[in-house]
Amino acid sequence: MYQYIVRRTLVFIPMLFVLTIIVFTLAKLAPGDALTGKSLADPDVDPEVYERQREALGLNDPIPVQYGRWISDVAKGDLGNSLVFNGRSVAELIQGRFANTFYLSLFSLFITIIVAIPIGIYSAKNPYSLLDYGATGFGFMGLAIPNFFFGLMAIYVLSIKLGWFPAQGTIESTDTVGFSAFLSRIHHMVLPGITLGLAGTATYMRYMRSEVLDVLGSDYIRTARAKGMSDGNVLFKHTLRNALIPIITLMGFEIGVLLSGAVITEQVFQYPGLGTLFLSSVVNRDFPVVMAIAMLLGILILVGNLLADIFYSIVDPRIRYD
């Protein structure tokens, strides 16, 4: 197992290198830069002032030179400085927002798991029941409804009309501390968490139902029941171990999907995380921040796939990587 982890980690190096090229190229293909936006906003300033700033920042250098300088700094752990946020370091900006997005993603994944897996199992054990039809309908709706639309409806109904949950922010007050602060953060994460996990919940539910149905029809399940094994043992010892393998595959991708999906969800709820930082950086052409966040999402997806492979061997002992 350890040798496999080392091999996969070494494979990450060329993949990350290719990722840096793609991210940098896409950033440079975008029109304008942070100084372009400033010059358009303030036409009274002499354009030569912004041209001198571009020269000082190296924005006029050839693209290969800019890439070499950027990748060299990234290899040293220096993500550069923001071009918009008064020269603050990119690492500082990301560090200040990453925790909020990470907690929101974990909360969303937790809701997805505790809702989707039990309902998927029940639907498989009781096919064509009322709950099964209801879960199927919810699954199709969850996949069809855009997250931003569901978020706006949730704000209107659950926040404005009923007043059950706050519509924006991460905590009620900066003076809130201790366990009250924890409850306040959970309270503020309910609406964006449900919105972010809507499509994932529908997907997991459908996959879980399909896999459990498939496993329940297997020969070894019929053999276990013929030997007198209880339904609980058949379900937890035999069925779930095999049915969870594709779910673990989805979870490996879910880390990056949740963080990238938070871009729209956080904007809808004005949730101060990586999503709102990324979107504002794109609008303001703050490419050092954009490239750093895109790199972070790519790394998390690679790590998620590695964790999924490791969990394979835990769920199914037949899988070995030695």
CA gap 308, 144 in Å, rounded: 27
pLDDT digits 0-9 by tens, 58-117: 777 788 888 888 888 888 888 888 877 776 888 888 887 888 888 888 888 888 888 888
- Residue 208 lies inside a defined structural domain of this protein: yes
What is the predicted pLDDT for the residue at 40?
Answer: 45
CA gap 319, 322 in Å, rounded: 10
Task: Name the residue range of residue 188's domain.
Answer: 90-315
Given a cut of 60, is residue 25 above it in pLDDT?
Answer: yes
Q: 241, exposed or middle or buried, with CB in 10 Å at 0-12, 13-18, 19+?
A: middle
- Residue 50 lies inside a defined structural domain of this protein: no
Count CB-CB contacts under 10 A for residue 113. Answer: 17
What is the predicted pLDDT for the residue at 318?
Answer: 63
- Residue 213 lies inside a defined structural domain of this protein: yes
- Residue 147 lies inside a defined structural domain of this protein: yes
Task: Please work out, in degrees rounded to the nearest 5, the angle formed at the alpha carbon of residue 14 by the alpha carbons of 13 and 17.
Answer: 90
- Residue 70 lies inside a defined structural domain of this protein: no
**Residues 270-302, buried b or exposed e (16+ Cβ, 10 A)?**
ebbbbbbbbeebbebbbbbbbbbbbbbbbebbb
Lowest mean per-residue pLDDT among 58-72, 182-196, 240-254: 240-254
CA gap 33, 45 in Å, rounded: 17
Greatest Cα pair distance in the chain: 86
- Residue 76 lies inside a defined structural domain of this protein: no
Count CB-CB contacts under 10 A for residue 134. Answer: 12
DSSP structural state of residue 147: H
CATH, residue 205? 1.10.3720.10
Position of tokens 């964790």? Answer: 307
Given a cut of 60, is residue 2 above it in pLDDT?
Answer: yes
- Residue 247 lies inside a defined structural domain of this protein: yes
**Number of domains the chain contains:** 1
What does the mean pLDDT of the chain come to? 78
- Residue 174 lies inside a defined structural domain of this protein: yes
Which residue type is seen at 322? D
Q: 64, exposed or middle or buried, with CB in 10 Å at 0-12, 13-18, 19+?
A: exposed
What is the predicted pLDDT for the residue at 320?
Answer: 61
